[in-house]
Structures are given as structure tokens and as C-alpha cells.
Amino acid sequence: MINGRLEQLQTWFSVNSLSLNISINNYMVFGNHRITADICVRINSEKINIVNYTQFLDVLIDDKLNWKSHIYQ
């Protein structure tokens, strides 16, 4: 399902003359539990990497939505 939506997003980008740099994109699953299922997210047959934290507007956000990563940076 997610891959279908990402294909639609890629189509929208193309129609609107925008580009999506897949090499710098990643995804995060939020929650307190470890992921047990093997999730494979792709755009144009390129795999998107999963991360535990990311930086957005100079704020570190982690997959548990707490501030430890940002505070202890």
C-alpha cells in the first residue's frame, strides 16, 4: 500500500516538473516496540532506508518521539 502511494507521489512530482532526490530520503516508524515485520519501502525500484532518528530544522527527532537524541547531541 505504501509503495503504491509513493508511486502516486512520484507521478505528481513528475507532472509538476519537480524532482525527488531519493538518495537523501529515508523513513521512520514511530512507536515503543521494535519492528518485527520486514518493511520494504521503494520509489522507482530504489529502496528507501529506515532510520531510528533524523534531523529536521535543526531538531533531532527519534522513533520514540522523545527528546533524548536532541538533548544529548
Task: Using pLDDT thresholds of 50, 70 and 90, give the confidence band for residue 15.
Answer: very high
Report the C-alpha gap between 44 and 22 in whole angstroms.
Answer: 9
- 20, 13 in Cβ contact below 8 A? yes
For the stretch 30-62, pLDDT in tens is 877 776 667 788 888 888 888 888 888 888 888
Domain boundaries, the chain: 2-71
Strand 26-27 to 46-50 pairing: parallel
Name the percent of the chain lying above pLDDT 70: 93
Other CB atoms within 10 A of residue 51 CB: 13
- Any residues with CB less than 8 A from the CB of 55 and at least 6 apart, and which? 61
pTM of the model: 0.66
Question: What pLDDT score does 36 carry?
Answer: 64
